[in-house]
Chain A
Amino acid sequence: MTMRKVAVIGAGMTKFVRRAQETPKELSWLATRMALESCELTLDDIEAVCMGTAPDSFDGIHMKGEYLSDGAGAWRKPYMRSYVGGGTGVFVPIQGWYHVASGMFDVVLVVAEEKMSNFYPHAQAAFLTIFDHTTERPLGPNLLWIFALEMNRYMTTYGISKEDIARVSVQHKRNAANHPCALLGDPDITVEDVLNSEVLAYPVQRYDVSPVSDGAVAIVLAAEHVAKRLTDKPVWVEGVGWNLDTAHWTNRDLVYPRYVEYAARMAYDMAGIKEPKKEIHIAEPYDPFDYKALHHLEGLQLAERGQAPQLYIDGTAARDGNMPVCPSGGLLGVGNPIAAAGLMKIAELFWQLRGEAGDRQVPGQPRRGIAQAWGDLMQVGTVVIMGR
C-alpha cells in the first residue's frame, strides 16, 4: 500500500471555558479561522473538511455534524463527521490523515468542537443515554460511576495510593497555568488540595476529574508537496492507530487498556518505532481523570504495568523531565470539551515540535510526540504519532 506523507501545517483553538457565549458553530468558526490564519490559507485552499464532535446531546442538536458544518468551513465541500465518543478528538485527525494519505485530497481541514454547557442542569446526565436501555439504564448509571469502578480496580490491583494518583492532577493543572486557553490552570495547587476535594463517587474526588467545558480546535493537514511549499516547519503524521474493545464493559479488563496497546502498536509499527520509551519525547495521553493518564501511559507502552505513577514521582513526566507528559496541561488543566480536548493534544504536539509553545515549551528541541484519546463505552483507543 502506498501512502503519501501528511503534515500538520496549521492549528488554532478557542479558549476552553465553562459556558461560552458563542454557539457551537461559532466556536467551530473561531477555531477554523485561527487554524487557516496560522498557515496563511483561505477557505478556497481547503479541499475537504473532517469534523469531530461527541454526543449530540451535549450541543442539544441531533445530527450536529450537519449543524456545525458551516462553522467548520464545509460549505460546498466534501464533508464528513466522525464520532468515537471521547476518542473522537484523536480519531478525526486520523480521518483527515487518510483523506490526504490516500491521494484523494491535498489540503484538508480538521475541526473538533464541543459545547457541553448546553446540557442542563449538568452534562453528566447526558451520559445516561449511552448505556444499554434494558440492562443498565434503569439503574441510572453515569460516567463517574464507571470511572470510579475502573479507578478502584486499577488502584487496588497494584496497590497505588490516592496520593500518587493526585500527583497527576497537580502536575497537569500546574502545566495548564501556562496555557492561554486553559480553564483550570493553577500554579499553586497541591496534592492536599486534590485529596481534600469533595468525594463524588469513591475513589473519584472533584479534582481527580476534568471540568465540563466549551471549546473548539482546528488543524490543517497537507500532502508533502504542498506542505513543503507552505511552511519550513511541517510536523509529520508519522503513525496512526485505533482499536476497539468489547461493548460489554463488565467483561473488560479494567486494570489494563488492551485496546490502547493495540492502537499504539499499530501507530508504532507505522512510525517504525521499536522502543517507545526512548523514541517518544513528549506524551499527551488522554487524561479526563488523573488515573486515566497513568492507565493510558501503560497502554501506550511508556510505563510498565502499575508503574506509571513512578514517572510523576521521579520527575520523568515533568515539563523539563525526560519524557514530559501533558505539557499542555491536559484535560485536567486546559479543560475537557470532549472532541476538542483530544484535538487540543494534536495541536499541542504541533506547537511543541515547532518550538512555538511559548511558556509551555518543552526544552531540548523534542523531535517526536504521541497523542492519545479514549472513549466510546470505555472501549476505544485512538493514537497519533507526530514528528519533525
Chain B
Amino acid sequence: MTLLERDPKSPLTWSGNLPVTSRYTFGLAGEKFFRAIKDEGKIIGSYCKKCDHTYVPASQFCEKCLAEVSDWVDVGTIGELHTFTVLYEGYDGARLVQPEIVAFISLGDGGLIHRLGEINLDEIYFGMPLEAVFLPEGQRQGSILDIRYFKPAG
C-alpha cells in the first residue's frame, strides 16, 4: 500500500485549486542573515546580552525578553549534529530514488535544518561536527539553498 492508494468505491470528487502566490520579504534580521550567506559565505546569529542567548538564524528580537537584539555574531560554518532523519518518500507518497538525509545542525543556541551530503549513513553520530558547503560566490542569491548541504567537518 502506498500513500497514493486508489479505492474504486471512493466517493466522486471535484478538482479545484486555490491560486495563491506569495512574495515574501526577508525581514529586518533576514536581510542581514541572508546577505551574510550571499556576500560573505558566513552564517550569523544575533546575541541577546540580557538572556545570554544566540539566535540562529538571526532574529531581530529576543523571544525571552522582547528586547531588540543588535549584537550580530559570526557563528562559524561548522555546527554539531543534533538529530537526523533519512527520507524515503516524497510529497506525493512515491518512493525517492535516492533517500535523502536531513539533520538539525546546532549553531549558537539555535541551528539550521538542512540536508547532509558527502556522508555515509553508518558514519553519522549525534554531536558530529558538520560544515556548511556553499555554492560558489557568483551563484548565491540570498537563499537557504545557497548552502548546498552540510558535510562532515575536517
Contact = CB atoms under 8 A, between A and B. Distances in A.
Contacts of B126: 153, 156
Contacts of A140: 91
Interface stretch (A194-202, A277-285, A363-371): A194-202
Contact of B113 (A18, A21, A60, A250): A250
Nearest to A200: B89
A92 B113 CA distance: 32
Contact of B3 (A122, A202, A204): A122
B145 A139 contact: yes
B102 A60 contact: no
A141 interface: yes
Contacts of A246: 63
A326 to B, nearest CB: 24
Given A121-B92, A246-B63, A134 B111 contact: no
Contacts of A163: none
Given A250-B111, A251-B111, A122 B144 contact: no
Interface stretch (A143-151, A170-178, A316-324): A143-151
Nearest to B90: A140
Contacts of B88: 198-202
A133 B7 CA distance: 35
Contact of B110 (A141, A148, A206, A248): A248
B83 A135 contact: no
B98 interface: no
Given A142-B91, A251-B109, A149 B85 contact: yes
Contacts of B13: 19
A134 B144 contact: yes
B10 interface: yes
B57 interface: yes
Contacts of A198: 88
Interface string B23-42: 01011001000100000000
A247 B113 CA distance: 14
Given A21-B11, A60-B18, A135-B144, A250 B85 contact: no
Chain B interface size band reads 35 or more
A144 B100 CA distance: 13
A144 B112 CA distance: 17
A60 B17 CA distance: 8
Given A21-B11, A121-B93, A125-B91, A251 B110 contact: yes
Contacts of A21: 11
A203 B89 CA distance: 13
Contacts of B56: 250
A134 B30 contact: yes
Contacts of B55: 248, 251
B141 to A, nearest CB: 11
- Counting chain A residues whose Cβ lies within 8 A of the other chain, the interface size class is 35 or more
B83 A149 contact: yes
Interface string B121-142: 0000010000000000000000
A227 B24 CA distance: 51
Contacts of A149: 83-85, 102-104, 113
B16 A60 contact: yes
Given A121-B92, A149-B83, A62 B18 contact: yes
B21 interface: no
B144 A20 contact: no
B143 interface: yes
Nearest to B89: A200
A124 B3 contact: yes
B145 A138 contact: yes
Contacts of B7: 18-19
Contact of A135 (B63, B106, B112): B112
A136 interface: yes
Nearest to B63: A246
A250 B110 contact: yes
Contacts of B110: 248, 250-251
A21 B106 CA distance: 46
B63 A247 contact: yes
A24 to B, nearest CB: 13
A59 to B, nearest CB: 11
14 contacts: A19-B7, A125-B91, A134-B34, A139-B102, A139-B144, A145-B87, A200-B87, A201-B89, A202-B88, A203-B85, A204-B85, A250-B56, A250-B110, A251-B111
The 9 lowest CB-CB distance pairs between A and B, nearest first, are A148-B85, A202-B86, A153-B83, A21-B11, A125-B91, A250-B111, A133-B24, A149-B83, A201-B85
Interface of A: 18-21, 57, 60, 62, 120-122, 124-125, 128, 133-136, 138-142, 144-145, 148-150, 152-153, 156, 198-204, 206, 246-248, 250-251, 254
Given A133-B24, A199-B86, 10 more contacts: A60-B18, A122-B91, A134-B143, A134-B144, A144-B85, A144-B89, A149-B84, A149-B85, A152-B85, A250-B111
